Amino acid sequence: MKSYILAGVLTTGVAAQSGPWQQCGGIGWQGSTTCVSGYHCQYYNEWYSQCIPSQGSTTLRTSTTQVAPTSTISSAPATTTTSSPGGGSKKFKWFGVNQSCAEFGKGIFPGRWGTEFIFPSTSSISTLIRDGMNTFRVAFSMERLVPNTLTSAFDQGYLKNLTETVNYITNNGAWAVLDPHNFGRYYDNIITDVTAFKTFWYNVAKVYANNPRVIFDTNNEYHDMDQNLVFQLNQAAIDGIRSAGATQQYIFVEGNSWTGAWTWNVTNTNLAALADPENKIIYEMHQYLDSDGSGTSEACVSTEAGVQRVIGATRWLRENGKLGILGEFAGGANPTCRTAITGLLDHLRENSDVWTGALWWAAGPCEPPSGTAYTYYIDLLRQYA
C-alpha cells in the first residue's frame, strides 16, 4: 500500500495537478485532487487516493481499500477445530496487520516526527495482540533511516524509534516484519546499485541479527522495474542479510507489479530461482479485490474475487515448492467484500502447506486501531488468528 499522510497534521500543499504516483486525495489532504495527463486519481481508502496510469497497463494492481497482510507460516497444521467461516482446521504461522505510520509523509524528508510521520503506538500493538494478531509489518522509509546514501550511517534517532517498536513487538511474543516501504526506489529513483542495496541490508541486519522474531522484507512493492533487477535486488538483500550473521531470520521477498498475487504467475516467475543458504525465503504477495481502473470503488468485483485472484499464485507456490504469505489484503466495509475476504482467507488456510499467513492492511490511524474497514472486519479476522 502506498504511504499515508497523518490525518490532521498534513502540511503539504500541492499546486496544480498531482504527478504520477502522487497522492491526490484523502482525509486531511490539501493538495490537488486531479492528476496530470495520462493518470487518474484512484481512491484507495478514506485516507489516501493516488494518481495511477489511466490505461492500467503498467500495473495490474487492483486498488481498493487498503488491506493488511496477515501472515503466517503453515508449518505444523494445528489441530484446532475452531469453526471459522468456511471451516478448516489449519492454522497460519503468521497472522497480523500492517503498522503503517513511520513511512507516512512520503516525499517529505526527513519530515518531522509527530507531523509527517510517527511510530505505531504501543497501545495499538497490544490491543491487536489481544485480538490474536501475532505479526506486525512495520513500514518505514529508507530515506529517513539512511538520509545520505544507501550505504551511509543510520539516522540514530529514527533507528532508535524503529528499534523500540520492533522490540516492543517481539518482547511481547509477536513477529516484527521490517518493511522498507520504498517500492524499489530511493528518493524516487529506482535503485539500480545492487551492491549498495546489499550493504544497506547488511547494515540493517547487523542491528537485528540476534532477534529471531524479526523478519526482513526486502522492499515494499517493486513496480515498473526491470524484472531481472527485481531479482538481483532481492538476491542482494538475502546475501547482505546472511553475511551480517543474521542467519535465523525469515526473509520476505517481493515481486514486480506491486507484488500482486494475481499476476505473479506471469510476472514474477524468475524469482523462483532466488537462493538462500538458510532456506528461509517466503514469497510475499499483495492482493486487493476491487476492480482496477474505475478509480472510486470500495466495492469488490465479486464474492469470489479473493479466491480467483490468488489461485494462480497458490498453484505457482506449490509447483515450485515455495512458501508464500499474503503480505497485504483488504476489502471495503460491505457484504460482498466480506464474503470475498472470507473466501480468500479460507482458501489460504486450506492451502496452508504453501500459504503461511496473511496480513491485513492497516487498522486505521496509528493510535488505537479504529479504521472503518478494520472495525468492520476485526471479528472476522479474529477467527483466523
Ligand X SMILES: *[C@@H]1O[C@H](CO)[C@@H](O)[C@H](O)[C@H]1NC(C)=O
- What are the catalytic residues? 221, 328
We find the least distance from the C-beta atom of residue 257 to ligand X, in angstroms, to be 12
Q: Which is nearer to ligand X, 190 or 380 (CB)?
A: 380
We find the least distance from the C-beta atom of residue 39 to ligand X, in angstroms, to be 22
Q: Which of 284, 286, 282, 380 is nearest to 328 (CA)?
A: 286
What are phi and psi for residue 316, nearest 5 degrees? Answer: -60, -45
Q: Which is nearer to ligand X, 207 or 311 (CB)?
A: 311
CA distance 308 to 265: 13
CA distance 229 to 223: 11
Tell how far CA 349 is from the center of its chain: 19
CA distance 273 to 255: 13
Among all residues, whose Cβ is closest to ligand X? 312
We find the least distance from the C-beta atom of residue 137 to ligand X, in angstroms, to be 8
Q: Which of 140, 85, 95 is nearest to 325 (CA)?
A: 95
Within the chain, strands assigned E span: 23-25, 39-45, 48-53, 68-69, 94-102, 135-140, 175-180, 185-186, 189-190, 214-217, 251-254, 281-288, 324-330, 355-361
Q: Which is nearer to ligand X, 265 or 303 (CB)?
A: 265
We find the least distance from the C-beta atom of residue 232 to ligand X, in angstroms, to be 24
Q: Which is nearer to ligand X, 120 or 240 (CB)?
A: 120
Judged by the rule CB under 6 A, the positions of this chain that interact with ligand X are 4, 47, 68, 97-101, 113, 120, 124, 128, 157-158, 161, 262, 265, 308-312, 315, 362-366, 369, 371
We find the least distance from the C-beta atom of residue 200 to ligand X, in angstroms, to be 18
* DSSP for residue 35: B
Q: Which is nearer to ligand X, 87 or 160 (CB)?
A: 160
